[in-house]
Structures are given as structure tokens and as C-alpha cells.
Amino acid sequence: MAPHLATPSRTLDVGSADAPSVGWMRGAHQHVGLDLFPDGLRPGEGVVGSATELPFGDGTFDVVSAFDVVEHCADDARAVSELQRVLVPGGRMLLSVPAYQWAWSDHDVQAGHHRRYTRAGIVGVVEGAGMEVRRATYAFGGVFPLFAAERLRRRLRPPAAGDSRLPEVSPGLDRALMGVCRAEARLLRRRDLPFGSSVFVAAVRPSSARP
């Protein structure tokens, strides 16, 4: 996603409450974080609000991001349209969503998800909002076999009601999995992945209306 950040004057991150995962978006520019809940928002730059009714004027931001957010919105088309609305012409939209409806489990229910996506599915929503998709790729393909096995296990042996915990990972396995993800990050600089547990999208708001 970093190459699509470019050199913005103002950025908006929706839904992550300024989590460490968006620290790379920070810089000399103005950064705004928005979330439904105030916990984690930074004083002076955090705004409480909804992704489907952004409290900003049209064309306010050069970059908007929503990582693992759109799947929480009952009306995902409205959420993406709102992200598009607050972008300047030529502004960039950065998204991630969970992949594959067949991977739906009790964990999605507990997390408040409404759906999971294929790459074509989320691209359709983004293009439906008038955006031009510059890149769309699956991610976390290196750990995908473990993800698929875990989801299959949850389907065959559902956890107790209300227990949405994911499997605990030993420090050694954690280091190994993080190593796989770092290697994949280098690969993603050069090419897209054909499968993975998430989909990442970078899109641009056209600078002028199409004829």
C-alpha cells in the first residue's frame, strides 16, 4: 500500500482507531483517525463517527484508508461511496477485506462481519462507487494453508457458544509465520497473489468525469 500513499497533504484512516498497523501512513501531513468508539483515538486528531456517514465535506482528503472495515458495514456500497466522496479528485483509496465466503465461521459472527469477499467482489463494489482500481491482490497466501485448515476445523468442531478465540501460537511458530509474511511482503512489491485470506485494493478517484 505504501507506494499509493505518495505525498499527501491530508489523510483519513477509518476504523482502526489509529492502531499500529497504520503507523506507516504518518508523516508531516495532517492525519485524521475515525472510529465508532473513542478508545484508541488520539486527542486532537481522532473523530468519533461512522464509515457510512463520514462527518467531512466532499473532497477533504488526499488518501482514505479502511483496513478490515467494510465487511462490518451492512451497506458496504454506501461505506465505499462515502470514502470516495471525501476524496479529492485524483485521491487514493486503500482497503483490505477478509477473503472467501466459504471461510465464514463463528469468528466472523463474533467479530460483527456481514460478509467476506473475493477479489472480483470487492473490486466490483469499489468500481461501483466510481473509483478506478489500480491494484487488487490477495494477501497472506503464505500462511493460507494454516488459515484454511483452522477454518475447516472450526466448521467440523464448532467451539463452545460465545468462544470466538483463535488458536494460540507458540513464540517459535509466531516467528516462523512472521518470517513467511515478511517474505511475502517482498514478493507483493513485484506481483499479485492468486489466493490468500485477505484482499487488498488500491484505487483512485478520477480527476474528471468520464465522457
What pLDDT does 20 receive? Answer: 61
Measured CA to CA, the distance from residue 31 to residue 200 in angstroms comes to 21
Q: Is the pLDDT of residue 209 over 70?
A: no
Give the predicted TM-score (pTM) of the model.
0.89
Type and span of the H or E element at 198 = strand 198-204
Q: Is the pLDDT of residue 106 over 60?
A: yes
Q: Which residue type is seen at 188?
A: L
Q: Is the pLDDT of residue 131 over 60?
A: yes
pLDDT tens-digit profile of 61-84?
A: 999 999 999 999 999 999 999 999
Which letter, b or e, does each residue of 121-142 get, where b requires 16 or more Cβ atoms within 10 Å of its Cβ? bbbebbeebebebeebbbbbbb
Which segment of 15-24, 135-144, 170-179, 201-210 scores lowest on mean pLDDT? Answer: 15-24
**3-state DSSP call for residue 129?**
coil
Higher pLDDT, 171 or 155: 171
The residue to which cell 513485484 is assigned: 190
Q: Is the pLDDT of residue 42 over 50?
A: yes
